[in-house]
Amino acid sequence: MYTFTDRGDRSITLRPEGTACAVRAYLEDKLHAGPQPVKLYYTGPMFRYDRPQAGRFRQFHQFGIEVFGSNDPAVDAEVIAMSMDFYGRLGLKNLELHINSVGCVKCRLVLRRELQSFFRKRYDDLCFNCKNRFEKNPMRILDCKETQCIDSGVNAPTPIDCLCESCSAHFEKVKKHMDLINIPYIINHRLVRGLDYYTNTAFEMMAPDIGAQSSIGGGGRYNGLVETCGGPPTPGVGFALGMERVILALDRQRVAFPGTVGPDVFVVTVGQVGSDEAFKLLFKLRAAGFSANKDFLNRSLKAQMKYAGKAGVRFVVIIGEEELARGVAMVRDMVTAKQESVILDQIAVYLTKRKSEV
């Protein structure tokens, strides 16, 4: 975590994720006293201290959702579905959705026993870290990327094997609800969340070809977290995605980004004559709800047109000597290249009409 000492000699840690923040909001604002369930979202910068690499930044941005107050497996499916829908709308393809269930505290006690008895015989084959995990948190051995640990864990008991009756039923219902809305998933027995407050459903979305950090989002159920944070026992389930990784995936999949949108109108002047009128018109147009711009570099008519073309504006309003004398301006449609003269006072009205045609 990104921890440092500030000038007041206080130890400061920058938040690494948003769920705990959402829980605090839920408790501090006493949302648990209101109607349940409570659905929240957040977005903002998060921080880590790891060395940066592809898809991993010291400062990054997450979007996340949390649902407090319901243990209904349909909500797990709803949260997963919402996140998959988000990726789908962006245009991402070939994502893998991995799901698993780590059960409740009771299930994990069973799992812990089973795993320890399984790995006790293979203890010497485990990597250094997993030898420590054996006592501290054997579930994490399943998650280890070392080949020796993967090999020795081939027939290891899985979290799902150790689910109690109600947790097993919960997982079945999550899967059923996923099937009801046709969301394909892969059951990944190695997908675990190590902390005690995680319960039942765990899931993760992976994007191919974005480097070593392939996860673009994930989440799960945390029925113990609110209580751990000092609140009443409250079920919760949530999801978070890393926006930089989503952008990376969009980039790799060559999904077209929404282009930058230019102003609606660009006001072109010829020489100094039309300049004052153009400035006034600029603000009239803005007041009428258009985004509008003009030249501020004393550029030639041609250069202004060129600039307007590059900026992708739809309409150019040309005010020159001839137009001024007649109290009109030339309005040019940059797409059709057609232009007509419009009375100066009527330009906003005219453009409003033209804009609604498109």
For the CA atoms of the chain, what is the radius of gyration? 29
Q: Which stretch binds RNA (CB under 7 A): 44-52, 71-79, 94-102, 230-238?
A: 44-52
Cβ contact 77:201 at 8 Å: no
User: What SS3 state is found at 245?
Assistant: helix
CA distances from 347 to 11, 273, 286 (A): 60, 19, 12
| 216 Cβ contact list (under 8 Å, min separation 6) | 87, 92, 95, 205, 206, 207, 210, 241, 242, 245, 246, 249
* Smallest distance from RNA to CB 57, Å: 7
| 277 makes contact with RNA (CB under 7 A) | no
- Residues near RNA (CB under 7 A), total: 49
* Smallest distance from RNA to CB 102, Å: 11
Touching RNA, residues 4-23 (CB under 7 A): 15-17, 20
Q: Which stretch binds RNA (CB under 7 A): 152-160, 208-216, 231-239, 259-267?
A: 208-216
61 strand-pairing partners: 45
In terms of C-beta density within 10 A (0-12 exposed, 13-18 middle, 19 or more buried), how is residue 315 classed? buried
Angle at which helix 275-287 crosses helix 347-357, to 10 degrees, equals 50
* Smallest distance from RNA to CB 180, Å: 29
Q: How far apart are CA 201 and CA 76, in angstroms?
A: 7
Q: Exactly one of 121, 145, 155, 165 binds RNA (CB under 7 A); which one?
A: 145
* Smallest distance from RNA to CB 325, Å: 8
Touching RNA, residues 299-328 (CB under 7 A): 299-303, 305-310, 316, 318, 320-323
Site of interaction with RNA (CB under 7 A): 1, 15-17, 20, 46, 48, 50-56, 129, 140, 145-146, 193-195, 198, 211-213, 270, 299-303, 305-310, 316, 318, 320-323, 330, 332, 334-335, 337, 339
